[in-house]
């Protein structure tokens, strides 16, 4: 560890040394440059380690052996050391990346790079305003030279615009420093902060000019068109330096100025940052050029950090933790993405599909965008958690709302980009992947995950990378080269073992959900043995990440762990859904809705925390008044997005229908239960709540009823069998939400019955339909028919499934209906009951269509040689059939203990009495075994009688015109199942108009059109940019005068 002055002296000395070398000594010059940057990186690392782990205290460095104001002083602390490490590591890796270019340009370019590092170090370390001006000038000059390293002809124009704009900034800064010195008699930052009263008494304009000069260096909206042109045309390695290193140093300069400012200037900084963050992310929606999009994203992230700088007064001790988490994550991620862009030959987003040829680079890309968005377990997740809680505690909800809205926009275009990479056609131009450039990207990837671990350790909450389920999921990234069958065995074994380890700590409710998630998920994984000859890259890490989130969700005891688990399961399920053949738009819709719901949950927890970083979930019960109503509403809407309640359901049909055969039962049978678990937990802790006189649970009751009716009605008119089942899930989730919202004992029992039943029969039905689709090559029911003899096991599974869904005896669906009828008899809700009753008969329509059009009717010629579905797809179906039968006979195995557990929340209300195998209530009794026996006897009697009566009947074959007495149309020309319920469509079609879908599509189109319109604001004309800059200065001046 060398003295802090070395960060300036060594780089400056090396730059001068390069000037003494011959032009032909390029290898020596390059070696000196790398050695210098490596030394400075190591020195910065040693100082960072010393401050973080060894207890070093910040030091003052006096350049002339005298304290200020007689000499310039530098300050080196943990924040400065960390940023110096970011600057020099970025420069070192960029120099390696630029090897060929620097060797071609020679020692002068290398010298300029070292001068830039020296200047940035000075900006970070100095405590003197004039010194700050000098270092900023050096940064501008060096940056202007490095911009010209690009072979893009537009780089010259971009560099010229940059120099023009930065000269305006320099003039503003120099004039401001002069007048500030006149007012205070010092140019030392700390000294001027002590005399800030004198400065603002007669020197408001002086500080304003300094403030604006530094703010303009941060490229705020709308004075940032010149910066976007640089990002688009400069060499990607230099764009990485501008985004990560220059941006970080400029933010340090602004932070120093804010030491002098008062609270009004803090809020002004946040407003400028917020506007920039929102505008940059909005404009990115319409952007298809990769480097310009990265430029918008860089501007937006810097704006977000500006917002945080302005919240210094409320962040307190968490200030550096929040700023550092966002800034370092941005620096590493953006540098990594710019470096990857240099490997991609095309400049459109879809050209990044070439990354699929290199799985490690694809993983790096996914990690970098997760780092940018602040997804767990990366630093931004911890930082944004603290920031949101601080904003909520300070009642700055308008800042919080706009920030989360912009974050959702950011997630939208970044996930859209990821969808392009995974689903678009491979470009004709392959990746350009020299080893040294790939090495740089891999080192950035290591830095990203190292930051994830470090921030987890620094966080006052649990380190997510210590969680065994998450580590188990991440381990499958390393296991990707293994055969799929072996990974499948490991996944099944891991889930079963985790259930056995967790079982002793489960309460009865957690046991139900844990059994469905872990044991039920393991059964579905049996279907994944089909096609195990392929490696199925990406499937197992994604699936296990979803299951890790789900398993952590049900045992979370505080708000932080709950929300982290919610985010993990959302990201994992998105990756799973995206694997489907035509799933790209549906996966994007799913993840945007899910993250929108997650942000509402985050806001609800922040409001409930009342300033605390996290709260035990049981503390939600302590809230009261209007605050309790708002918290309940936010959390409920967030959970309802995952259950696809009406109005929030448009993501579900496509996501479930387009998913792979073994993924559809995972996301339908298991993933949807996350929302129901959240609602159960919410109602269990907070009970009934009101907001402005409206009973929120009653509103939820209506949502459940309308969801049931709408889902069932839409399912009736689907031609695609998987979409039919998907809409059916909306209806089934509506029943469960309705039961929970009834807020009585039997209503909750009914909801839990639907949780169990829905998992079994919907997983079974999706596997059955998926197996049929694999054999027939289509999901359209009118193109099927007559498959009962060719696929008898699939027919049996569908038959048992629809009996269970319909709720007729003797299967467990009837038990759910029986509890449902008991629950509604115990309550006084009339009109919602009418709607929920109407939904029931409608379900029979789509269930009849499902089995009739696929398995009955005429067999198509092209299907005559079909075989039964693959063994591994049929096997879990038969297991589910057995489960349904067992659950129908002895429901008490799963429900008896849950019934007693629920009873503690609804004392005195109607409940169930478990006497042996008979269940009784105040309205009647349910005896599963006698019912099963009676139904079985009746069925067998009628079946044998029909066999006897028809013992001599001759089977009429499909084309036997003599006996059929009809013209033998070929079956492929009949399509009797097309528009199957046309009369019902005429009567009820108006209820199925896609009004909700149109609303969300209109809103999305509006945002995209607004983005496309407003980004034309950037014309590429330097004079126009200068006008933007001046107008921005005037607008900020007027805004600040109005705030004072």
- Which one is predicted more confidently, 939 or 183? 939
3-state helix, strand, coil in the chain (%, to 5): 75, 5, 20
Q: Give the C-alpha separation, 28 to 1035, whole Å.
A: 51
Closest to 606 (Cα-Cα) out of 405, 391, 456, 403 = 391
Share of the chain above pLDDT 70, in %: 96
Q: Which residue has the higher pLDDT, 554 or 109?
A: 554
Q: What is the mean pLDDT of the chain?
A: 89
Q: Is the pLDDT of residue 771 over 90?
A: yes
What are the start-end ranges of the E strands in 167-282?
none
User: Is pLDDT of 572 > 60?
Assistant: yes
Q: Is the pLDDT of residue 957 over 70?
A: no
Sheet containing strand 918-921, strands side by side: 913-915, 918-921, 924-926
For the chain, what is the total number of helices (H) and then of strands (E)? 45, 7
Averaged over 969-974, what is the pLDDT?
59
Quick one: average pLDDT of 869-885? 93
Q: What is the pLDDT of residues 471-526, one digit of tens each?
A: 999 999 999 999 999 999 999 999 999 999 999 999 999 999 999 999 999 999 99
For 348, list phi and psi in degrees, rounded to 5: -90, 155
Alpha-carbon distance 577 to 283, whole Å? 27
* Contacting residues for 659 by C-beta, under 8 A, at least 6 apart: 576, 577, 579, 580, 583, 666, 667
* Band of pLDDT at residue 361, cut at 50, 70 and 90: very high
> Which pLDDT score is estimated for 360?
94
pLDDT per residue over 335-346, tens digit each?
999 999 999 988
DSSP string, 865-907: T--PPPHHHHHHHHHHHHHHHHHHH-THHHHHHHHHHHHTTST
Tokens representing 490? 């490991």
Give 425-484 as a DSSP string. PPPSSPP---HHHHHHHHHHHHHHHHHHHHHHHHSSS--GGG-HHHHHHHHHHHTTTS-H
Q: Six-digit token pair at 264? A: 């009004």
User: pTM to 2 decimals?
Assistant: 0.93
**Neighbouring residues of 283: CB distance < 8 A, sequence distance ≥ 6:** 296, 1011, 1014, 1015
- Condensed to tens digits (0 to 9), the pLDDT of residues 1-26 reads 788 888 999 998 998 888 888 877 88
Q: Are 902 and 749 in contact (CB under 8 A)?
A: yes
- CA nearest neighbour of 748 among 683, 809, 799, 704: 683
pLDDT of residue 16: 87
The answer to which of 69-73, 813-817, 868-872 has the lowest mean pLDDT is 69-73
Residue 292 contacts residue 231 (beta carbons within 8 Å): yes
What pLDDT is stored for residue 901 in this prediction? 86
Radius of gyration of the chain (CA): 32
Q: What is d(CA 1030, CA 1036) in angstroms, rounded to the nearest whole number? A: 10
For residues 638-647, give the mean pLDDT: 94
How many whole angstroms separate alpha carbon 294 and alpha carbon 369?
11
With a cut of 70, say whether residue 909 has pLDDT above it: no
CA distance 834 to 926: 24
Residue 430 pLDDT class (50, 70, 90 cuts): confident
| Cα–Cα distance measured from residue 948 to residue 1022, given in angstroms and rounded to the nearest whole number | 93
* Range among 68-77, 193-202, 973-982 rated most confident: 68-77
Is the pLDDT score of 441 beyond 60?
yes
Higher pLDDT, 855 or 149: 855
Q: Note the Cα 98 to chain centre separation in Å.
A: 33
* Per-residue pLDDT, 966: 56
Q: Of residues 309 and 917, which shows the higher confidence score? A: 309
Tokens of residue 59, six digits: 């030091």
pLDDT of residue 971: 56
Q: In whole angstroms, what is the distance from residue 246 CA to residue 248 CA?
A: 5
DSSP state of 188: B
CA–chain centroid gap for 858, Å, is 46
Q: Residue 887: pLDDT band by 50, 70, 90 thresholds?
A: confident
Determine the average pLDDT of the residues in 809-817.
Answer: 84
Q: Which helix (H) or strand (E) holds 509?
A: helix 508-514
- Residue with token string 């990690």: 367
Check if the beta carbon of residue 598 is closer than 8 Å to that of residue 567.
Answer: yes
Cα–Cα distance for residue pair 1027/1029, rounded to 1 Å: 5
Q: What angle do CA 706, 707, 708 make, to 5 degrees?
A: 90
Q: Span 896-910, mean pLDDT?
A: 78
CB 578 within 8 A of CB 584: yes
Confidence of residue 895 (pLDDT cuts 50, 70, 90): confident
Going from N- to C-terminal start, the domains of the chain cover: 467-941
Q: What's the pLDDT tens digit per position in 703-761?
A: 999 999 999 999 999 999 999 999 999 999 999 999 999 988 888 998 998 899 999 99
Quick check: 590 pLDDT over 90?
A: yes
What pLDDT is recorded for position 24?
79
Query: Is residue 959 scored above 70 in pLDDT?
Result: no
Give 205's Cβ-side CA count (13 Å radius). 6
pLDDT tens, position by position, 206-257:
888 999 999 998 989 888 888 888 888 888 999 999 999 999 999 999 999 9
> In angstroms, rounded to a whole number, what is the distance separating the alpha carbons of residues 780 and 931?
36
The DSSP symbol for 342 reads: T
Determine the pLDDT at residue 908.
64
Query: In this predicted structure, what is the pLDDT of residue 962?
Result: 52
Instruction: Report CA dihedral (49, 54, 60, 66) to the nearest 10 degrees.
Output: -120
SS3 sequence of 475-487: HHHHCCCCCHHHH
CA-angle at 43, arms to 38 and 48, nearest 5°:
125
Q: Which residue has the tokens 């270092």?
A: 135
Q: Report the C-alpha gap between 996 and 647 in whole angstroms.
A: 6
- Calculated CA dihedral for residues 643, 594, 583, 993, nearest 10 degrees: 60
pLDDT attached to residue 864: 87
Provide the pLDDT confidence category of residue 556 given band limits of 50, 70 and 90. Answer: very high
Backbone angles phi, psi at 394, to 5 degrees: -90, 5
For residue 181, with 0-12 CB atoms within 10 Å meaning exposed, 13-18 middle and 19 or more buried, which class applies? middle
What is the rounded distance in angstroms from the CA atom of residue 52 to the CA atom of residue 332?
A: 20
Of the listed ranges 114-128, 166-180, 376-390, 431-445, the least confidently predicted one is: 166-180
3-class DSSP string for 276-311: HHHHHHHHHCCCCEHHHHHHHHHHHHHHHHHHHHCC
Q: Which of 523, 596, 845, 544 is nearest to 713 (CA)?
A: 845
Structure tokens at 512: 């139900």
Q: Provide the CA 891 distance to its chain's centre, in angstroms.
A: 38
Task: Report phi then psi at 586, rounded to 5.
Answer: -75, -35
Question: Other CB atoms closer than 10 Å to residue 976's CB: what's the count?
Answer: 13
175 to 120, 210, 681, 948, 982: CA distances (angstroms)? 22, 8, 60, 107, 78
DSSP code at position 357: G
Q: What are phi and psi of 925, to 5 degrees?
A: -140, 160
CA proximity to 758, closest of 520, 531, 586, 1001 = 520
pLDDT at 136 over 80: yes
Residues 6+ apart with CB under 8 A from 2: 10, 43
Q: 895-931 as b/e, with b when 16 or more CB fall inside 10 Å?
A: bebbbebbbeebeeebbbebeeeebebeeeebebeeb
Per-residue pLDDT, 968? 55
pLDDT at 184 over 90: no
d(C-alpha 454, C-alpha 463), whole Å:
9
Q: Does the pLDDT at position 964 exceed 60? A: no
Tell how far CA 156 is from the center of its chain. 38
């Amino acid at each position: 560890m060398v003295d802090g002055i070395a960060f300036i002296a060594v780089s400056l000395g090396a730059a001068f040394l390069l000037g003494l070398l011959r032009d032909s000594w390029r290898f020596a010059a390059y070696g000196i440059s790398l050695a210098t940057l490596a030394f400075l990186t190591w020195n910065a690392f040693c100082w960072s380690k010393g401050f973080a782990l060894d207890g070093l205290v910040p030091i003052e460095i006096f350049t002339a052996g005298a304290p200020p104001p007689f000499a310039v002083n530098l300050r080196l602390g943990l924040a400065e050391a960390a940023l110096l490490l970011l600057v020099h590591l970025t420069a070192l890796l960029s120099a390696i990346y630029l090897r060929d270019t620097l060797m071609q340009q020679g020692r002068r370019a290398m010298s300029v790079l070292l001068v830039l590092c020296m200047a940035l170090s000075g900006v970070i370390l100095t405590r003197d305003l004039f010194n700050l001006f000098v270092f900023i000038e050096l940064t501008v000059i060096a940056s202007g030279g490095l911009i010209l390293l690009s072979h893009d002809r537009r780089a010259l124009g971009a560099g010229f615009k940059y120099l023009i704009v930065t000269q305006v900034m320099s003039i503003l800064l120099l004039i401001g420093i002069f007048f500030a010195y006149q007012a205070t008699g010092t140019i030392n930052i700390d000294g001027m902060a002590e005399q800030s009263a004198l400065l603002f008494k007669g020197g408001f304009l002086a500080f304003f000019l300094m403030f604006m000069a530094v703010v303009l260096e941060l490229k705020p909206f709308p004075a940032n068109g010149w910066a976007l042109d640089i990002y688009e045309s400069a060499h990607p390695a230099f764009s990485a330096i501008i985004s990560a290193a220059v941006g970080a140093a400029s933010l340090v300069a602004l932070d120093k100025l804010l030491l002098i400012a008062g609270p009004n200037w803090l809020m002004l900084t946040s407003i400028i940052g917020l506007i920039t963050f929102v505008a940059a992310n909005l404009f990115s929606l319409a952007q298809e050029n990769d480097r310009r999009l990265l430029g918008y994203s860089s501007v937006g992230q810097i704006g977000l950090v500006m917002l945080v700088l302005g919240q210094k007064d409320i962040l307190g001790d968490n200030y550096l933790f929040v700023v550092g988490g966002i800034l370092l994550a941005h620096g590493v991620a953006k540098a990594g993405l710019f470096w990857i862009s240099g490997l991609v030959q095309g400049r459109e987003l879809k050209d990044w599909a070439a990354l699929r040829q290199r799985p490690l680079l694809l993983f790096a890309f996914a990690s970098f965008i997760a780092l940018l968005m602040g997804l767990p377990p990366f630093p931004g997740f911890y930082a944004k958690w603290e920031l949101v809680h601080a904003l909520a505690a300070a009642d700055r909800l308008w800042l919080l709302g706009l920030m989360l809205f912009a974050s959702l926009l950011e997630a939208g275009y970044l996930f859209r980009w990821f969808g392009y990479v995974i689903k678009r056609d491979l470009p004709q131009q392959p990746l350009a992947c020299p080893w040294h450039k790939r090495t740089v990207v891999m080192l950035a990837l290591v830095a990203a995950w190292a930051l994830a671990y470090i921030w987890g350790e620094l966080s006052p909450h649990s380190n997510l990378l210590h969680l065994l389920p998450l580590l188990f999921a991440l381990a499958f990234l390393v296991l990707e080269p293994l055969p799929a069958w072996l990974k499948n065995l490991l996944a099944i074994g891991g889930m079963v073992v985790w259930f056995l380890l967790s079982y002793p700590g489960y309460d009865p409710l957690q046991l139900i959900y844990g059994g469905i998630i872990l044991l039920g998920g393991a059964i579905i994984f049996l279907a994944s043995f089909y096609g195990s000859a392929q490696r199925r890259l990406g499937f197992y890490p994604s699936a296990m990440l979803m299951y890790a989130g789900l398993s952590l969700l049900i045992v979370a005891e505080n708000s932080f762990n709950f929300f982290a688990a919610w985010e993990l399961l959302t990201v994992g399920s998105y990756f799973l859904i995206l694997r489907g053949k035509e799933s790209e738009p549906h996966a994007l819709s799913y993840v945007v809705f899910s993250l929108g719901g997650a942000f509402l949950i985050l806001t609800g927890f922040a409001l409930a925390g009342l300033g605390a970083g996290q709260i035990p979930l049981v503390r939600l019960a302590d809230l009261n008044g209007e605050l309790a109503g708002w918290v309940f509403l936010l959390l409920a809407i967030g959970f309802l997005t995952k259950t696809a309640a009406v109005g929030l359901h448009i993501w579900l049909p496509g996501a479930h229908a387009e998913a792979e055969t073994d993924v559809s039962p995972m996301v339908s049978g298991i993933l949807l239960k996350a929302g129901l678990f959240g609602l159960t937990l919410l109602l269990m802790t907070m009970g009934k709540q009101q907001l402005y006189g409206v009973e929120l649970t009653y509103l939820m009751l209506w949502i459940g009823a309308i969801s049931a009716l709408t889902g069932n009605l839409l399912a009736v008119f689907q031609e695609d069998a998987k979409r039919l089942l998907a809409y059916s899930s909306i209806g089934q989730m509506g029943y469960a939400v309705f039961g929970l919202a009834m807020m009585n004992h039997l209503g909750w029992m009914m909801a839990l019955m639907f949780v169990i039943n829905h998992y079994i029969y919907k997983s079974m039905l999706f596997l059955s339909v998926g197996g049929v689709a694999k054999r027939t090559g289509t999901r359209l029911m009118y193109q099927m028919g007559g498959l009962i003899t060719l696929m008898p096991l699939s027919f049996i599974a569908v038959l048992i499934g629809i009996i269970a869904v319909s709720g007729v005896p003797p299967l467990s669906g009837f038990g759910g209906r029986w509890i449902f009828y008991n629950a509604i008899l115990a309550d006084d809700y009339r009109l919602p009951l009418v709607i929920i009753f109407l939904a029931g008969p409608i379900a029979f329509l789509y269930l009849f269509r499902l089995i009739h059009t696929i398995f009955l009717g005429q067999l198509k010629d092209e299907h005559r040689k079909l075989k039964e579905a693959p063994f591994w797809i049929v096997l879990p179906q038969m297991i589910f059939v057995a489960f349904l039968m067992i659950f129908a006979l002895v429901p008490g195995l799963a429900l008896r203990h849950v019934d007693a557990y629920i009873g503690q929340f609804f004392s005195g209300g109607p409940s169930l009495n478990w006497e042996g195998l008979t269940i009784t209530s105040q309205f009647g009794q349910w005896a599963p075994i006698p019912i099963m026996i009676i139904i079985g006897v009746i069925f067998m009697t009628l079946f044998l009688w029909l066999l006897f009566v028809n013992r001599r009947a001759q089977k009429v074959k499909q084309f036997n015109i003599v006996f059929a007495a009809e013209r033998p149309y070929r079956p492929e020309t009949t399509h009797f199942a097309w528009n199957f319920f046309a009369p019902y469509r005429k009567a009820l079609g108006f209820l199925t108009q896609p009004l909700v879908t149109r609303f969300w599509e209109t809103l999305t189109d509006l945002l995209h059109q607004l983005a496309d319109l407003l980004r034309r604001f950037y014309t590429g004309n330097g004079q126009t940019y200068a006008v933007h800059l001046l107008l921005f200065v005037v607008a900020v001046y007027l805004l600040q005068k109005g705030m004072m």
